[in-house]
Amino acid sequence: MANGSQKQIWLDLACQGDPSAISKLIVSYHPLLRRRVAERMGDAIMGKLEPEDILQEVYVDVFGRISRFENRGLDAFLNWLLTIVDSKVRDAGRALHRKLRDVDREVAPEAADVSESYWNLLDELYADSGTPSRVARRDEAVGALLACMSQLSPLHQQVIQMRFLEGRSVREAAEALDKSDANVVALTKAALKALRKSMDRLGEFTHADQPTPKRRT
């Protein structure tokens, strides 16, 4: 667990545009932010979304807006994060309410087991490494993936989301993105490579000597 001095160093580097420092900050605050989201979501939203769905949008915002953050210390940074979290939860609630008012829409499906999907994605990233992927804690693992996904291009984020978190087939993703199957396969490989590179930059911060769950067959 990072102490305050280490977090302040990361914050200073993050405000200078260092993506790895931003990711490390996100991972260190992820458990707290996830609890905040869960507390604010309420039963209506929780039945349709997982906290990770909202946090993914939060972290994209953090990467996009960190250059405008006035570095007045860790307390100010945490308050800034919580403000973004609360705003995204409200946005999600309003969007869900609009969908429910539209009687022509199908009822939204119940939330999937997002945490399991992220574990499967983590295993996919390190499948060719010769050793099982390892992470310090489950919450750190998911936080790291969300942070690193936030650094990907929008198209790569879409491909990862569809193929690994939503479980869509190549054909389904191709239709949704208006691309050929071959393009989706190539995009998927490129997106995984970029995500693996980003995860590797976090290094020992995310890896420890504890095994991940077995990969699905």
pLDDT in tens, 72-107: 999 999 999 999 999 999 998 888 777 666 644 444
Please state the domain extents for the chain.
4-101, 114-205
Which residue is listed with tokens 């946090």? 55
Residues 6 or more apart whose Cβ sits within 8 Å of residue 69: 15, 77, 80
Phi/psi-derived region of residue 212, left when phi > 0, alpha when psi is between -120 and 50, beta in every other case:
beta
Distance CA 203, CA 43 (A): 37
For the stretch 120-129, contacts whose Cβ atoms lie closer than 8 Å and that sit 24 or more positions apart, written own/partner, are: 120/164, 120/215, 120/216, 121/145, 121/160, 121/164, 121/165, 122/212, 123/212, 123/213, 123/215, 124/164, 124/192, 124/215, 125/192, 125/195, 125/196, 125/199, 126/196, 127/215
pTM: 0.76
Is residue 27 within 8 Å of 150, Cβ to Cβ?
Answer: no
Distance CA 1, CA 134 (A): 16
Could you read off the pLDDT of 126-185 as tens digits, one per residue?
Answer: 776 544 444 446 667 788 889 999 999 999 999 999 998 888 999 999 999 999 999 999
Is residue 147 within 8 Å of 26, Cβ to Cβ?
Answer: yes
Which residue is listed with tokens 């499967």? 120
Per-residue pLDDT at 129: 58
Helix (H, G, I), strand (E, B) or coil at 70: coil
Per-residue pLDDT at 163: 92
Which residue is listed with tokens 């790569």? 156
**% of the chain at pLDDT higher than 90:** 53
Q: With a cut of 90, say whether residue 55 has pLDDT above it.
A: yes
Could you read off the pLDDT of 197-213 as tens digits, one per residue?
Answer: 888 887 655 544 333 44
pLDDT band with cut points at 50, 70 and 90 for residue 43: confident
Distances (CA, A) of 175 to 105, 171, 172, 184: 20, 6, 5, 10
Domain 4-101 is found in CATH 3.40.630.10: no
Helix (H, G, I), strand (E, B) or coil at 83: helix
Distance CA 216, CA 120 (A): 7
**CATH of the domain spanning 114-205:** 1.10.10.10
